[in-house]
Amino acid sequence: MKEEKKNVYEKLQEARVMLQQKNNKKSGKNKFANFSYYELADFLPSINEIFKQLKLFSMFNIRDNTATLVIINVENITDTITFESPIAEAEIKGSTPIQCLGGIHTYMKRYLYLNALEIVESDMFDSKVGDKDKPLVEGKKEVEHKAEYRGLLINFCKENNIDLTEISQKYKLNAKSNDEDFKNVLETLQETKKVENSENIKLEF
């Protein structure tokens, strides 16, 4: 009996499981907020190896302010799945316009692979978080205060199975967001959760 070939969705799901078993380590460091994150080099070699084994091909592109990652089943090139995200301008301190452009490409490529392969990140932003408004002299307590609501928001999302990426996009949280921005989003989510819980209690009665 001829073995039935897997479609792109089956292969991608298998690739996700295989990648999880690699236990890749995070090499990116945010020295301002004191957390680690995945860089492309931490997981892309493993993905390329897995995709070769499963006969998958991936193609990243940016066009019309939209970044896309297309994953193609090599055994049937019409069998594809596409991940996309709008892009935003980014200002990186001390960088030229072309370096900023390269930074956008690298970040969006990293973001789309994280999304496609469901690579778990405990933090929403990369190594530039906290850099823009960093004072010349910054004590330990001030750093902790700046990261306070950001950390509380991350923990709240984890505890309630809320997608951090969707929240950051919906409320436009980015490298320029301050602690007050994180606080406002957290309070909004907490209020929404209270309403949901109240409705559930009413339904039980």
Hey, where are the domains in the chain? 1-127, 133-205
- Mean pLDDT across 42-63: 95
Q: Largest alpha-carbon pair distance within the chain?
A: 72
Exposure class string for 150-166: b at 16+ Cβ within 10 A, else e:
beebbebbeeeeeebee
Residue type, 10: E
- pLDDT per residue as tens digits for the range 126-170: 444 444 444 433 344 443 444 567 777 877 887 788 887 888 888
- Mean pLDDT across 113-134: 64
- Answering whether pTM is above 0.95, one says no
Percent pLDDT > 70 in the chain is 73
- pLDDT per residue as tens digits for the range 12-49: 999 999 999 998 888 887 666 667 788 889 999 999 99
Minimal CA–CA distance to 188: which of 161, 163, 156? 156
